[in-house]
Amino acid sequence: MSFFERHYFLIRKLHVISGVLPVGVFLLIHLTVNSYALVSPEVYNQRAAFMKELPFLTFMEIFLIFLPILYHGLFGLYVVYIAKNNVLKFSYSRNWAFYLQRITAVITFAFLIYHVLTTRFSGNEITYDFMSNILAKPGMLAFYIFGVVSAMYHLANGLWAFFIDLGITIGPNAQRVVAVASSIVFVVLSILSVQILLAF
């Protein structure tokens, strides 16, 4: 039995946890900073500059953002690969949620790679005008909306699995409550995200 097989349970737990802490937390912080675009270009530029000047920024980016996202994304692709999708045979809601979680995993990971390469590693300063120029093209705006909404679904629906895996929601009633709550989170975050993109 390989190391991976022996420790699969722990690896899977870390995958679920890393999707919320720190990846999910970073996504919400990123969303909060970008939300200042709804205030004004000047305020957005101030907040973006403040984030860039944080102490230990490189350390935080590597160990609290990039490595957790890479781990969550790569193992997530493995989960997608081994998943047995049967939504046509069993079309109940949680089965569809399972299927969409896998689809949005691939979309979100690909979108994040593209977004990071064309912003953080573009060699350009991230400003309101920089983002506005990217999103000025209708095709790029549609691509961003699709990618961001996929990310929000993946995060919100992942909360359902997160609470189950940690043993917080054990019974069916508790799981239904979390399922409804995660749906609300998805709708709210998606609306906010689209509004931010359109603000650019």
Cβ 161 vs Cβ 198: under 8 Å: no
Class of the CATH domain delimited by 3-199: mainly alpha
Distance, in Å, from the CA atom of 112 to the CA atom of 55, rounded to the nearest integer, reads: 24
Q: What is the mean pLDDT of the chain?
A: 91
For residue 93, is pLDDT > 80? no
Got the DSSP string for 135-196?
Answer: HTSHHHHHHHHHHHHHHHHHHHHHHHHHHHHTTS--SHHHHHHHHHHHHHHHHHHHHHHHHH
42 C-beta neighbours (distance < 10 Å), count: 10
117-174 per-position pLDDT tens digit: 999 999 999 999 999 999 999 999 999 999 999 999 999 999 988 998 888 888 889 8
Calculate the CA dihedral of residues 114, 118, 122, 127 and round it to 10 degrees. Answer: -140
Whole-prediction pTM: 0.90
Cβ 109 vs Cβ 73: under 8 Å: yes
169-200 per-position pLDDT tens digit: 888 898 899 999 999 999 999 999 999 999 99
Distance, in Å, from the CA atom of 103 to the CA atom of 101, rounded to the nearest integer, reads: 6
User: Rg for the chain (alpha carbons), in Å?
Assistant: 18
Question: What pLDDT is recorded for position 172?
Answer: 87
